[in-house]
Each structure stands twice: as C-alpha cells, then as structure tokens.
A and B are shown apart, each in its own frame.
Chain A
Amino acid sequence: MTVAPKREDYDVVVIGAGPAGLAAAATSAEAGLSTLLLDENIGPGGQVFRAISSTPVTDRNQLGADYWVGADLVQTLRASNAEVIHRATVWSLDRNLEIAVSIGGASAFVKAKRVILATGALERPFPIPGWTLPGVMTAGAAQTMLKSSALVPDGRTVIAGQGPLLWLLAAQILRLGGRIDRILDTTERGNYFAALPHAFAFLTSPYFAKGLSMMREVKAKVQVVSGVIELSASGDGQLASVSYVAGGKRETIPADLLLLHQGVVPNVNLAMAAGIEHRWDDLQLCWSPVLDASGTSSVAGIAIAGDGAGIGGANAAVVRGRIAARAAVEALAPAAATRLAPMATLRADLAKAERGRVFLDTLFRPAPQFRIPAGDTIVCRCEEVTAKDILDAVAIGATGPNQLKAYRRTGMGPCQGRLCGLTVTELMAQARGKSPQEIGYYRLRAPVKPITLAELAAVPKSEDDIKAVVRG
C-alpha cells in the first residue's frame, strides 16, 4: 500500500534510506523534530543493506556480518517517530527546499526546514568496447538480484574490474553456489606503490582483515588474472566472449555474463539539480559536493550525508548521517540537541570510520583506458554517441558537456548523464588539455527521475492557471 506524506511541512526531510539516511532520520526524530524519510526502494537499506528486511538469504554468513548491521539501524528508526515512505521517488528539489515526490504513481509536494540528502553512490561507468551488449551488466546490478531474490549467475561468468565491492560480490556469489569462471583484475600495478604510504592507516582499519580474507576466499575457488590492461566484450546482439590483455598476452574466453565494476561515485543528480556546488575530486575522480564539517552544502538548509557527500563507505555514512541530523537539530531545536551524542564524539567516530579510505582510493583508482574510451566505443548509451563522435564535436568547437548538447544529444536521454557524465567530462578534458574542473559537468534538471505526463497532469491546479496567453 502506498501512502502520501501526512503533512505538507516537515522540520527535516531525509532523502534515501541507506546507512546515512536511516541514521539521519532516526537521529532527527529522536530529538523530536518532525521527520520524513523518503526512499525509492521497496524497503529500507539502500544499496549496502538492500532488502535488509526482506532478503530470502537467511544464512547470515552468506551476506556477511557487515550486511546485518543494517538491521539494527532499521530497528532504531522504526522505534522512532520518523515517518517513512518507501517506493517514493523524489524527482525535484529546489533551493527553496520544495520537494516533489512520486508515490504510487501520484505526485506530492512537501516543504522542509532542513533537507538531508542521502542519495548514496552509483557505479562508475565502465565504457569498454561492447559494454552495451546484453549479457554485460554492472556488479552492483548483480548484487541487487542476489540480495533481493537470492539469484546468482549459473552460466559462464566473468567478473572484471577492481575495488572492494567486486571482491565482496564474488564472495557472495560463491557462497550462494553461483558460478564464476574468471576474475579479471584491472588494478594498475603502479597503484600498489602509490598506495603504499597510506598503508599503515589501512592496516589498522577494520577493512584490512575483512578484505584480505575475502580475497583469499575468492582466490581459492576462482582463477584470478591480475594486471589486465585491455578489456572488451563482443558478440552478435548478445555477449559471446570477453577479450583481455594481461602480462603482454591477449586472451579471449567465451562468456554468457560479464559483470563490470570499477568503484562507486557519488550520486549527484538531485544535489546538482538543486543548485548545490560540486567540485572535481582528483583522487576519487568524480564530482563531490562542497560541504562543511557538518555536511552543509552551498544551498542554505540542504546537507548531504553518506556516499553522496564523497565516497566513504557504509560505516562513515552512518556517522555522517548522524552529524548532519545533529546539525539540523542544533539549528531548529537547540535544547533537544543535548539528548544526542555530542558532536565531538561523532567527529571522532567519523575519523575512525574514514581510516584507510585514502589507501583504498589510491589502490583502486581506475586506470585511464577504462575511464576514457576511444574510437567507436559508446559513451552515451541513451543516444548511442561514441567517443569519436565527441572528439569530432570538440574539434569543431564544443568546449564542455553542456556545449556538446549543441552537437550531440549526450546526457539528454532518460538517464540524465548517470551513465556517461563522468566519461564525457574526462574525455573532453583530455581532448582539450584542461582539468575536469575547468570542463565542468552537465547542468542537471528536474525531474531527476522521469515521471509520466499523466502523473504530472494529476497535480492539483494552481491559481494562475487562467491567465492571459503569452506566446513562447
């Protein structure tokens, strides 16, 4: 059953029920603020704790202890007075803190005194030749099926890329009896040396032991090829084989399924559409919002917590959620803030949770050839625009992603740049000899997720409906 929000105005509206959003909403409600949590999925958890309340996977070892931490967060939230609505797609947020949300095919508008964006991360595009073929999907999509439906691959499966999630997924697939034929590790050799100075912090972080044992577990069962420097998928209308180059040797293997992953990046669409300033992060190679220590953005009243604030992982996301909520409480009901954990404690928690991050970011920094494609490789899937098309447009005057729209329709399809934006920025930056910051990003627009015309038509009428005609 779907329900519309109970009120038109809230003290705090939290968008996204992943680790950051769950923690933020619980904290805000605990302090007595009227709190609404809007989430797109059918249940709480976001990506990390997806289907935490409903997963058919009951053996706790299979998804790992880190996953089940989510259950406590959900319990805390449920014990609070926060109003929670799932299957609620926020499609617009503006600098007046007006939120448009689609729930069960009907749109509602709510206004907040404070908004906490906890929209999380997206997988980084992995634009290799053939990445748009049926049979090629992201590791994240595979993990979604695994968590929500206990579905694992049974055909010839290749996993390619790098990063912690890749190893976690591989371990989860194997534990659930799925098939993996080969893992192609694209981590650049040089990254190991670059990451070395940051190794101490990592060794003392909780990630280290867990990561190591997971990699061992996977390597015991699957052939892992490291140092992969070239990768492509091919097939006639359907994936048939995967080719790669490693150690100076090219190999082609038959495959029914190729899972690609090279890390996650902040999901910036809603934040950018609200006018929040973002800057290029040279280490994480993505756009991150400009935030103060409490997660407050450049737009008054909007804070960002979780991976949407810059990739930090689930533990950091929980703390960032609490910090942002505490800051909202301090602003709206200072007396109630004394009930919450002190800010100093939260900041210490955050420092602990973020330990080892620089090591991971440096080690798993994706290689240029997997971020910046060439030739006929498709960059924009919605409009089928290739790397060459974009370089041709640059040659005749396109200077940035928005100007590119005058030449090619990149970013103008339904995904609004989610699958091509970073690639376009880096490709144009390289072609023009500029930094990604100078090149910029698409101007993003609501609706951040498409809504049907019928749904918009059903929105209640406004007063100035019947005015003189102005010709456009």
Chain B
Amino acid sequence: MTKNVDAIVVGGGIHGCSTALHLCLAGLKPVLIEKDYAGRHASGVNAGGVRQLARHIPEIPLSIRSMGIWEKITDLLDDDCSFESYGQVLVAENEEELAVCRARVAELNALGFTHEELIDAAELRRLVPAVADTCPGGVVSRRDGAANPAQATTAFRRKAEQLGATVREGIAATNIRHTDGLWHVDFGAESFAAPVLVNAAGAWAGTIAAALGEPVPVETVAPMLMITSRVPHFIDPVVILRGRKLSFKQFKNGTVLIGGGHLATPYRDRNETVLDWKSLATSARTVFELFPVMRSATIVRAWAGIEAKTKDDLPVFGPSSRHKGLYHQFGFSLHGFQLGPGAGAVMAELIVNGGTQTRIGDLGIDRFHPSTL
C-alpha cells in the first residue's frame, strides 16, 4: 500500500536530515529514506569544519545563512553538536600567497562580504602561536569553527523525527518515478508518494538525477582524514593552508584532526574506500614542517567518506529544470557540511514558498543544461 506524505527526501546526510527537519518546522510531514543510516558517509565522517572562510563566491550567501543557524544550533536541535567557534585561519606561507589573500579579501569586500579579514604576521602568531615564524600572515574568519559531524548529523535526524518526519534507514530508495502528479519511491516493501521529491543522496545523487533525465558532471570522491593521539593543547582555531592541501584542528581532548582534501579511492557500491598512504604522508610532512610540537604524535586512525564532487566544485541546489516537484541538493564537493543547516532551511523555503531571500541562483542544475520545464 502506498503511504501519502508531503515530501520524500532521499539521503540521510546532514543535508537530507536538515531539509526534513525544516520541512517539519514549516508544517509538512516528510519521509526521509537513507540506504544505510543517517551520517554513514561523508556527513558523519568529515572534518567537521564550520567554515565561511575561502568559499567559492556563489555559495557564500548560503554559507552565511548557515552560520547563523550554527550559532544557535542548540536552540534548533536540543544538542550542541559540539559546535565551537574559535575561528578559522588561512595561513599564507610566503609573500606571494599573502598577496593572493589580500586580493581575495578586497574582492569580497567589494561584493559586500566582510567575514574574511586580512591578518599580518603578528595577528597570525597571536591566533596560532605554534605556526612557523616564516609565515607572513593570512586571512581569518572569526565566527567560523568546528562541530562533531556524526553528532550533528545524528542530531538533525533525531530532531526531524521528533517533529514528525518518518525516517526509514537500512534499504536504498528504489523505483523512483513520477506518476499522476506524484513522486513515488519504494523502500523495501513500503511505498511512499508525495508531490515533492528532494534528491539529497550525496555520492548516489548523480545516479538518481541521471535516471530522471538530468545528468550532471559529477564524480564520486573520498577525501581522507587522519587523527592523532592526544597532545598537549596548542591551538584553538581551525588552520588551513593557502598553498598546500592541509587543514588542521585540535579537539578539546587533545587529539588533532589532519585533513585537506587528499583523496582515497572510493568503491561506492561497496561502501568502501582504499586509502592512499603516500598522499597522507604528504599531509604528515606538512604538519611536521609547520608544527614541530606535533612530531612525536602518533596517527591513530585514518579514513575517508564517500561524497559527490561536481565539475565546477559547486553544489547542485534548487528545483529541477525538467520535473515539477523535484529538487536537488547534492554535489557539495568536499565543502558541504557547514552548508547543511542553511541549505535545509532554504530548501524548505523553496518547497513551501516557492522562493527564498538567500541568493542561490548560481547553484541550480540548469547551469549544466538548458531549462525544459
């Protein structure tokens, strides 16, 4: 028997969970379908960076919208998601890189964005005392921070369910079809129908979009992370490097997360990744050079989450260009975690109100093919 709901959200990452939650807040009854469990993939195992810093300009409005939600995340979810705000710092390792930083901040200022601030060597040293003396400065986004990704994604899922969302986990959504003006999706022996379908299936979303006639240039990637044993506290903000693939964050318990975008080989359909230790060694070398305090730390664990990366590194976000009632929310290209709360809020506005005040125009799927609606 088919169960009628207000919306079907496919994908239990932070985006799907956030959209389901915000649909509930708007008075709708959605169903959320997740093939594994909420936060199983990239949303639950990413670096947890809550970052406006160094973003592509088309997604900055969405990022700023999201930041406002992160800062009141406990009010929304009854869970602090271990969110903390010590800023994020982009380090320039030489004058050339600092010049690029200077130009970037000037460009943002000209566009009316003020969250990124150029800093000199003295301020850099104040924020990140452990950084090598040779670094001439960088950029800081002071409201940025980090959260626990598994905790946050799980909290969104839990709150959505509390507010009336139906959550189905453990079996993939199948047989996605549009008949008689409704979207139909099967979950095992169950079948759901709704006027609205949200494709938030992460690394699997490209397949769904293609099956619905809207192929997108998207690949499956798996950025690697590694975490160290506990070391004495030496750093508060999240640090990223201008010129090298490195991001760096010390948690309250002393462990240090090292990331930056080196990729593992994903085996999407087996839910598996094979790590590339030679690339992780590059990250280790960079940390070794820049933070002598880390040299004796041990690497306790390394992993990679599976996600989707588009050709232009921008998400596919907004209504379908082909089908009524279909919305896409995927392809966040290694920087989707911070956007989750805001994207869910905006997606709910698009669905319920037919529009939003947040500027998302450059993120639509129609950038890949002409509108046919």
Contact = CB atoms under 8 A, between A and B. Distances in A.
Interface of A: 92, 94-96, 100, 109, 275, 396-397, 399-400, 402-403, 405-407, 409, 412-414, 416, 443, 445-447, 450-454, 456-462, 464-465, 467, 469-472
Interface stretch (B111-119, B177-185, B212-220, B269-277): B269-277
11 contacts: A100-B277, A402-B40, A403-B37, A406-B44, A414-B300, A453-B296, A461-B282, A462-B278, A465-B279, A469-B241, A470-B223
Nearest to B53: A471
Contacts of A406: 39, 44, 148, 150-151, 153-154
A142 B198 CA distance: 59
B140 interface: no
Interface of B: 37, 39-40, 44, 46-47, 49, 54, 148, 150-151, 153-154, 158, 223, 225, 227-229, 240-245, 247, 253, 259-261, 270, 272, 274-282, 284-285, 287-288, 294-303, 313, 334-335
A445 B298 contact: no
B259 A462 contact: no
Classify the interface of chain B: helix, strand, loop or mixed: mixed
A450 B44 contact: no
B154 A472 contact: no
Given A92-B277, A470-B334, A471-B334, A446 B288 contact: no
Nearest first, the 4 closest Cβ-Cβ pairs linking A and B are A459-B281, A406-B150, A470-B261, A462-B278
Contact of A412 (B242, B275, B296, B301): B301
Nearest to B288: A457
Contacts of B302: 445-447
A433 B301 CA distance: 31
B288 A469 contact: no
Contact of B299 (A409, A456, A464): A456
A472 B272 contact: no
Contacts of B153: 406
Contacts of A471: 54, 240, 247, 261, 334-335
Contact of B281 (A95, A413, A445, A461): A461
Given A109-B277, A397-B154, A453 B272 contact: no
A443 B245 CA distance: 26
B295 A454 contact: yes
Nearest to B157: A397
Contacts of A413: 300
A462 B281 CA distance: 9
A403 B40 CA distance: 8
B278 A445 contact: no
A22 B287 CA distance: 39
A414 to B, nearest CB: 5
A460 B277 CA distance: 10
A26 to B, nearest CB: 30
From B229, B259, B313, name the one whose CB has the most chain A CB atoms within 10 angstroms: B229
A453 B280 CA distance: 10
Given A100-B277, A457-B284, A460-B278, A472 B334 contact: yes
Contacts of A470: 223, 245, 260-261, 313, 334
A112 to B, nearest CB: 15
A226 B330 CA distance: 62
Given A414-B298, A453-B295, A461-B282, A467 B154 contact: no
Nearest to A459: B281
Nearest to B277: A100
Contacts of A454: 288, 295-296
A416 to B, nearest CB: 7
